[in-house]
Amino acid sequence: MMRKLVERELTPEGPRRAGTAGGKRRSVTVNLGESPIAWLHSRGHLSDRLFQAGEQLRNDYERAQLSASLTMRWDPVRVKSGNLGSGEGRLTHSERQIAAKQRFDGAIAEAGKGLEDVLWRVVCAGEGLPQAEKALGWPARSGKLVLQLALERVADFYRIR
């Protein structure tokens, strides 16, 4: 995990960049490289099992390359050769991408309707819980419970004990 520390001013609405206009100023150091689920896990709000499930889901999301992309891959096409040691049993990039997409879709389906939104926003898009709650029209502080429920189902899907 990359550490990218910045100073943010604390306001009634939450942290914002230090140095912006306002009255009494308090600031906090924030690690921009830390994911929302890593933050919840490090503070004891998510168990190791739920954290691992979230990391696996995010990993599959990234491997499936489901986020916006500006270019295409120009990898050479795999050609069968007579040499068995030349990687004959290995998957191509496209095959790995398809497998990751199938795992991601399966995990999201296992979470169930209504829970996939919070999973995608917090785990995959890296949105904080307060922002996700607001975007989904949920009451404040309800997202953590719903996220935990969704991650329980995802952990079951990935068979994480």
53 and 26 within one domain: no
**What average pLDDT does the segment 126-152 reach?**
94
Residue 132 pLDDT: 95
Domain residue limits at 3 = 1-34
| Residues 102, 120 within the same domain | yes
| pLDDT of the residue at 13 | 53
Percent of the chain's residues with pLDDT above 90: 53
Are residues 56 and 4 both part of a single domain?
no
Q: Classify residue 75: in a domain, yes or no.
A: no
Whether 22 and 99 map to the same domain: the answer is no
Q: Say if residue 59 is in the same domain as residue 117.
A: yes
Cα(140)–Cα(38) distance, rounded to whole angstroms? 20
pLDDT in tens, 53-76: 999 999 999 999 887 666 666 666
Cα four-point dihedral sign 139, 140, 144, 145: negative
26/44 same-domain check? no
Helix, coil or strand: residue 16:
strand
User: Considering its fold, how many domains does the chain have in total?
Assistant: 2
Tell whether 76 is covered by a domain: no
Whole-number pLDDT of residue 1: 54
pLDDT at 72: 66
**Same domain assignment for residues 98 and 128:** yes
Q: Tokens at residue 10, please?
A: 């604390």
**Do 12 and 46 reside in the same domain of the chain?**
no
- Return the higher-pLDDT residue of 112 and 90: 112
The amino acid at residue 110 is E
Looking at per-residue pLDDT, the higher value among 2 and 139 belongs to: 139
Q: CA-to-CA distance for 91 and 87, rounded, in angstroms?
A: 9
Q: Please tell me whether residues 104 and 30 are part of one structural domain.
A: no
Asked whether residue 62 falls in the same domain as residue 1, the answer is no
Residue 109 lies in a domain: yes
Asked if 55 and 124 sit in the same domain, the reply is: yes
Residue 28: inside a domain: yes
| Token couple for 81 | 């050769």
Q: Answer yes or no: is pLDDT of 17 > 70.
A: no
Q: Residue 100 in contact with residue 63, Cβ under 8 Å?
A: yes
Specify the pLDDT at position 29.
76
**Average per-residue pLDDT for the chain:** 82
User: What pLDDT was estimated at residue 94?
Assistant: 85
8 Å CB contact between 36 and 133: no
Strand, coil or helix: 12: coil
Q: In the prediction, which pLDDT does 6 show?
A: 77
Q: Check whether 85 has a pLDDT greater than 50.
A: no
pLDDT of residue 124: 93
Span 94-115, average pLDDT: 94
Within a domain: 143:
yes
Domain for residue 127, yes or no? Answer: yes
Decide if pLDDT at 32 tops 70: no
Q: Distance between CA atoms of 161 and 142, rounded to whole angstroms?
A: 25
Residue 54 resides in a domain: yes
Q: Do 57 and 119 contact (CB within 8 A), yes or no?
A: yes
Same domain, 61 and 1: no
